[in-house]
Amino acid sequence: MLFAVLAGRSLYLQWFDNAFLQERGAARYSRELELPAHRGRIVDRNGEPLAVSTPVKSLWAFPGQLELSSEDLVRLARVLDVRPAALKSRVEASDEFVYVAKLVSPEVAERALALRIRGLNEETAFRRYYPAGDVASHVLGFTGDRDAGQEGIELAQQGWLAGVPGSRRVIINRRGEAVEDVASIRAPQEGRDLALSLDSRLQYLAFRELKAAVEANRAKAGGLVILDARSGEILALANWPTYNPNSRDRAARDRMRNRALTDVFEPGSTLKPFSIAAALDAGTVRPDTPIATGGGTLTIGSATIHDAHPAGTLTVEQVIQKSSNVGAAKIALGLPAQTLWKTLADVGFGTPPKTGFPGEVSGRLRPAKSWKPIEQATISYGHGISVNLVQLARAYTVFAGGGELKAVSLFKTGAPVAGSPAIGRETALAVRRMLELAVQPGGTAPRAQVSGYRVAGKTGTAHKLEGRGYAANRYVSSFVGFAPVSDPRIVVAVMIDEPTAGQYYGGVVAAPVFSTVTGAALRMLGVPTDAPVDNVILPPDGGEVREET
């Protein structure tokens, strides 16, 4: 009877349920190993590499088959530059499979294998390398251990850049060493290359000048954006502080934020041109319409609006040139709230810029029906509304592009693109003339002038929010402009957060950065001059700088 039972069981296992035994048998001599796929490169608009994957090695073992004596442990730890205790803990972390070392150079792996430790194996993997280091880190982001995107474009375009890993089956000996390839189960599919809109030359220029400005003004942070005025492509996007994606082990998380897209601030007087544009489009004012600024104060309810430099009657053009808060408020209060709101919404405020970057924010533009008169007045000069820097730069494409708002992109398009109508063409050209006056003598930003080019732009100096009110001595200084005025080619936006070196006006802190970057960028791009080389007229040293707060 016992013999019959054994015979029956033997027949059952061999003829009816043999899959389990075959699987257990194969597990003793066969392994399926992953074949990593090469991740696609990220390049700039001219084909310069910004992110590449380089081959590296990982060392692995089955702990039960790893013959690691105390002497071998010390020698291997020395090669891998780790403590023997840490290496021992890593090896003993699992009974089935462990990575003894991940993503080491081929030279290190070769020296480790030369120790001839039984059961120690290698596999090829890829590690991401960023040739520009910290210059473009906020745009590119970085990848994790398995070369998968973790931040920035690397994360947003994971599906495009990442390939599909393959696999192969190998035979192993009793020591766990792969001795023969049995079959290729699945060939790896390589990732695809991705061309960004960035120009490496302009990116380095923007990064260098922004860093210098933040350090010179002892500021908390800063951002700088260069847009192609014709296509909306982002040619440069720099932030400070920054980090090096090639060595980020000790980098604070705060340094990894792409502030130009993920942080918001109140734009201050850089918003005034849009309030004026709304009134021009509505027909309530003309460029030469006189506005009584009442000696630089305007009281609405219990609040009083002030001008930094009181004046009498100003034309609408002079309201922009002198940056009069009272003038902008009076012009805005002459409009229905919905009209002003629509203009601000049409130029992109209150909605994300849709660059394709993960985590970009929309800023804050509250519905017009909730505005009180004082809120409508303060929004006209950039308080009570929040934006990110790319959003603000994009809005200025309506003045550079004849009334059309360009769609911004971090990816190369290579050609001019049509924008969406936001304001009238005549209105855009009229405001463009006003913005050119603002950078000339008598305006708020003569330091934004560029030798050989006509430029136009607007300063902003805004108190920072603190609790339910505004901080008395904390500012955001900004400047947004474009050049050359005769045929705009680029839009440049600069923001300096909390300058503490004594100056805080946008015309003194941010405008000089605009001048340096714009002049160099136009020359790099080969843009023809449209003004004499001696066109720059600066105020005398120590002269008054007209500004707003």
**Can you tell me the distance from the alpha carbon of 430 to that of 52, in angstroms, rounded to the nearest whole number?**
47
**Can you tell me the distance from the alpha carbon of 512 to that of 500, in angstroms, rounded to the nearest whole number?**
17
């398009």: which residue's tokens? Answer: 413
Closest CA to 431 of 403, 410, 470: 403
**Contact yes or no for 281/343 (Cβ under 8 A):** yes
Tokens of 270: 């850089």
**Contact yes or no for 331/279 (Cβ under 8 A):** yes
**Can you tell me the distance from the alpha carbon of 316 to that of 276, in angstroms, rounded to the nearest whole number?**
8
Q: How far apart are the first and last CA of the chain?
A: 102
Angle, helix 70-80 to helix 84-91, in steps of 10 degrees: 110
Residue 125, strand partner residues: 56
Residue 373 CB neighbours (<10 A)? 14
Choosing from 58, 200, 231, 269, which is the catalytic residue? 269
**Can you tell me the distance from the alpha carbon of 413 to that of 431, in angstroms, rounded to the nearest whole number?**
28
**Can you tell me the distance from the alpha carbon of 173 to that of 179, in angstroms, rounded to the nearest whole number?**
7
Q: Which long-range contacts (CB under 8 A, 24 or more apart) does 109-116 make?
A: 109/57, 109/58, 109/59, 111/79, 112/59, 112/76, 112/79, 112/80, 113/59, 115/72, 115/75, 115/76, 115/79
């004082």: which residue's tokens? Answer: 374
Tokens of 368: 């017009």
Give how far Cα 102 sits from Cα of 81, 175, 179, 325, Å. Answer: 12, 21, 22, 59
Closest CA to 121 of 194, 167, 172, 157: 172
Residue 325 CB neighbours (<10 A)? 27
Burial of 85 (0-12, 13-18, 19+ CB in 10 A): exposed
The yes-or-no answer on residue 409 being catalytic is no
Q: Which residues are catalytic?
A: 269
